[in-house]
Amino acid sequence: MKYEFSPSLQLLAEDIATRIFPHVKIERVKCFRSYGSSTKRTIARCHALGKLMQQAMGVPAFYALEFLGEKFNKMSQDEKVKVMIHELMHIPESFGGGFKNHDIVCEKNVEECYRAYNYCVKNEKKIDWFNLERQKKKR
Q: Which parts of the chain fold into alpha helices (H)?
A: 7-20, 51-57, 69-72, 77-89, 107-123, 129-138
pLDDT of residue 133: 73
**Rounded mean pLDDT of 96-119?**
94
Cα–Cα dist 109/99, whole Å: 16
> pTM of the full predicted structure?
0.90
CB atoms within 10 A of CB 100: 16
pLDDT of residue 127: 80
User: Rounded to the nearest 5 degrees, what angle is found at the Cα of 136, between the Cα atoms of 132 and 137?
Assistant: 120
Cα–Cα dist 132/87, whole Å: 19
pLDDT of residue 139: 64
Q: Could you tell me what percent of the chain has a pLDDT over 70? A: 99
Strand order in the sheet with 44-48: 2-5, 29-35, 63-68, 44-48
What's the CATH class of domain 2-134?
A: alpha beta
pLDDT of residue 23: 94
Q: Does the pLDDT value for residue 65 go beyond 70?
A: yes
Backbone angles phi, psi at 32, to 5 degrees: -130, 150
